[in-house]
A = this chain, B = another copy of it.
Amino acid sequence: MASNQNISMAVIRRLPKYHRYLRELLDKDVKRISSKELSEIIGFTASQIRQDLNNFGGFGQQGYGYNVEDLYNEIGKILGLTKNYNTIIVGAGNLGQALANYASFGRFGFNLVGIFDINPKLIGLKINNVEVRDMDELKAFASETPVDIAYICTSRSGAQDVADALMECKIKAVWNFAPVDLKVDDDVIVENVHLIDNLLTLTYFVKEQ
């Protein structure tokens, strides 16, 4: 697996889906699968599956197909799931609290190490055994505890200030739930979950019915 620079975003966004389906096959004790069989359950063409996988290496074997467990592990590696990630949540409102309690993340190696807010009413509260701290403490906290990923769960208006604060703390990855496109340095990675954008895509089609 080379350190690939030129993999298209379309391919990268399919990888978690491969990972998810391979996990299911593994749970069903399926040992091998061909691109054609996988095609039928995952909904991509067999050709696309082979193309996608060959961006990262030749994981299959001619005449046989792919070993499910090996492929699952390889895709896990590609997605960076061989290490753990320290995460913090900024914004301890409804969504922040929901994410703090979302157990599934732990299974993938995401460890919640801190929660921050500016609301005095929330500071001190314990959510899923993690105490909510004052945003003012972020810099000191980050200098002691390495933070790999920050989830921004603030309002739209507060999000850019949070992003700026995170950059001061040298936090390089942001999972942004605020409905705004953050301005960040080139070395900071942002992944957006724009819920309202997503919901409006749904109404576009509902309206047409």
Contacts of A196 in B (CB 8 A): 16, 20, 104-105, 108
Copies in the complex: 2
Contacts of A207 in B (CB 8 A): 79-80, 83
Give the interface of A toward B (CB within 8 A).
3, 12-13, 15-17, 19-20, 43, 78-81, 83, 85, 94-95, 97-99, 101-102, 104-105, 108, 110, 148-149, 172-173, 175, 179, 181, 187, 189, 191, 193-209
Contacts of A79 in B (CB 8 A): 200, 203-204, 207
Contacts of A81 in B (CB 8 A): 200, 203
The 4 closest A-B pairs by CB, nearest first: A80-B207, A16-B197, A98-B98, A94-B98
- A9 → B minimal CB distance (Å): 9
* Beyond A15-B204, A16-B197, A79-B203, 6 additional pairs, beta carbon < 8 A: A16-B200, A79-B207, A80-B207, A94-B97, A108-B196, A149-B202
- A137 → B minimal CB distance (Å): 24
Expressed in whole angstroms, the Cα–Cα distance for A16 and B200 within the complex equals 6
- A153 → B minimal CB distance (Å): 9
- A47 → B minimal CB distance (Å): 20
Known: A101-B94, A102-B95, A179-B20. A15 touches B202 (CB 8 A): no
- A203 → B minimal CB distance (Å): 4
